[in-house]
Structure 1
Amino acid sequence: MLSKSFSIFHVFARQNKEKTSRVLTKKEWVNADRIVLLFLLLATIVGAIIFS
């Protein structure tokens, strides 16, 4: 008698779904730039405090 044994390796099998990339809008680019610039400003301030 043949039986199908349970295997956890089927969870790790490669998925065939392909991701579709989405183009960012101008508003999303502006928000991303603001976040990066804010992070750089804060990193500069923290670096000036630490190394002074």
Structure 2
Amino acid sequence: MACSCQKNRQQWEVVTAEGKVVFPTGNQTANKATVDTVAKRYPGSKVREKAKPGAK
């Protein structure tokens, strides 16, 4: 059986100005500070909360 300890964890992704996701935090252990640092490498990029599976 799969571990469910990650299911309620907040996840982030870095999206470039063109709309491409360049850094999703799926199974990685990246926190908000790490994602913010990665976003600085891509001019015009945004950090957004990753949508939960099944959410509309």
Classify the TM-score, shorter chain. under 0.3
Higher relative contact order (CA 8 A, sep 6+): 2
TM-score by length of 1: 0.28
Greater strand percent: which structure? 2
Report the TM-score, using the length of structure 2 for normalisation.
Answer: 0.26
